[in-house]
């Protein structure tokens, strides 16, 4: 029962996430169209955002699907050869004849079944994506009206003072989320550019598709880029087992540089979370809400972390100078 409810609510959750994401470019476009009437400004800006989203999705499908389909077919055909090469390599390391060390019977059939299951999951995900995009468009088209309705409901349920405090908290969370998403998108673009440069210099196959996949999956914090790494291995493996191994080495080196140099400067300053809290946010968010939780977990944890820090500072300062010096924001939250 709970699983069915969660499945039914998934498009609504993703619709809210998409609305938060698309609201960032929407506000930028509306600012550039300030001379127009508000209604016309909203229609033009929202249309441009939706066209851009559709173009990005179509470009990704056009760029990646043929590559992945060809890679799966080539991998199924090359599976016996790759298994024999791997067996020989293991046999050479062990000092024995490893030509038959790894069985390959049924490997192609298992790979084909995995491909069918992946296609079924992809079709279901696309259906949920369409619903989420439609919901996001509706939320953004009348966001002022929707916000007024939510505020009126909060005033009716919580009262005037508590509703005002709740609105302040929501504005603060939205600001943190916008900063996090902007930094995450910039970091993903930088990472994709790095992989284009490194893979091109090292003469790896499928440079653009692999770099694009890594850039897109890097939008999911911590674990996203490793998903792109797995797809990259899938694209390179039919060409050369040796190059697939070198790709893993290159990926690890670039990822270390990105984690220790780029990410702290581009994203870390926007969220203000220590690494342990980032990992905890990703694990908790992903475990509770799936992929949407992976994206929302870090900004949500950032808001809680800052509130907790302010509460500690207010308590310590209050012990020294008295209760009048407490943080007004925290005092208002306590009244909710």
Q: How many CB atoms lie within 10 A of CB 212?
A: 20
Q: What is the number of other CB atoms lying within 10 angstroms of the CB of residue 308?
A: 11
pLDDT tens per residue, range 274-321: 767 777 887 887 777 776 777 778 888 888 888 888 788 888 877 655
Contact 227, 220 (CB under 8 A): yes
Higher pLDDT, 76 or 171: 171
Percent of the chain with pLDDT over 90: 4
CB 307 within 8 A of CB 315: no
Per residue in 12-59, pLDDT tens?
877 887 888 888 888 889 888 878 888 888 889 999 999 988 888 787
- Tokens linked to 284: 């908790």
The pTM assigned to this predicted structure is: 0.67
Q: What is the pLDDT of residues 89-106, one digit of tens each?
A: 666 665 555 444 444 445
What is the structure's pLDDT at 99? 47
- pLDDT bin (cut points 50, 70, 90) of residue 173 is confident
**Tokens coding 89:** 């390599």
CA-CA-CA-CA torsion for 156, 168, 265, 272, nearest 10 degrees?
Answer: -90
pLDDT band for position 258 (cuts 50, 70, 90): confident
So what's the pLDDT on residue 105? 46
- Predicted confidence (pLDDT) per residue in 300-312, tens digit: 888 888 888 878 8
3-state DSSP assignment of residue 163: helix
């Amino acid at each position: 029962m709970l699983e069915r409810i969660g499945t039914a609510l998934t498009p609504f959750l993703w619709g809210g996430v998409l609305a938060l994401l698309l609201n960032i470019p929407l506000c930028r476009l509306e600012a550039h169209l300030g001379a127009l009437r508000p209604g016309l400004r909203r229609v033009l800006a929202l249309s441009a955002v939706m066209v851009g989203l559709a173009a990005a999705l179509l470009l990704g499908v056009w760029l990646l699907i043929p590559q992945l389909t060809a890679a799966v077919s080539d991998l199924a055909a090359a599976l016996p050869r790759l298994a024999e090469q791997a067996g020989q390599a293991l046999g050479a390391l062990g000092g024995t004849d490893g030509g038959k060390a790894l069985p390959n019977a049924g490997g192609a059939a298992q790979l084909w079944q995995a491909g069918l299951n992946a296609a079924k999951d992809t079709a279901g995900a696309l259906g949920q994506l369409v619903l989420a995009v439609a919901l996001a468009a509706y939320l953004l088209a009348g966001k002022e009206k929707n916000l007024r309705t939510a505020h009126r409901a909060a005033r009716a349920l919580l009262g005037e003072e508590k509703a005002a405090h709740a609105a302040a908290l929501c504005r603060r969370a939205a600001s943190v989320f916008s900063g996090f998403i902007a930094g995450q998108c910039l970091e993903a673009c930088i990472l994709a550019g790095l992989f284009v440069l490194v893979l091109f210099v090292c003469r790896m196959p499928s440079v653009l598709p692999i770099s694009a996949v890594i850039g897109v999956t890097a939008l999911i914090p911590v674990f996203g880029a490793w998903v792109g790494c797995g797809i990259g291995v899938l694209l390179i493996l039919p060409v050369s087992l040796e190059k697939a191994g070198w790709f893993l080495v290159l990926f690890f080196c670039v990822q270390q540089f990105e984690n220790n140099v780029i990410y702290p400067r581009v994203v870390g300053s926007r969220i203000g979370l220590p690494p342990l809290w980032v990992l905890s946010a990703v694990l908790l968010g992903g475990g509770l809400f799936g992929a949407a939780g992976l994206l929302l977990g870090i900004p949500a944890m950032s808001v809680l972390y800052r509130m907790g820090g302010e509460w500690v500072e207010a308590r310590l300062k209050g012990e020294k100078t008295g209760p009048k010096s407490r943080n007004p924001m925290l005092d208002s939250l306590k009244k909710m």
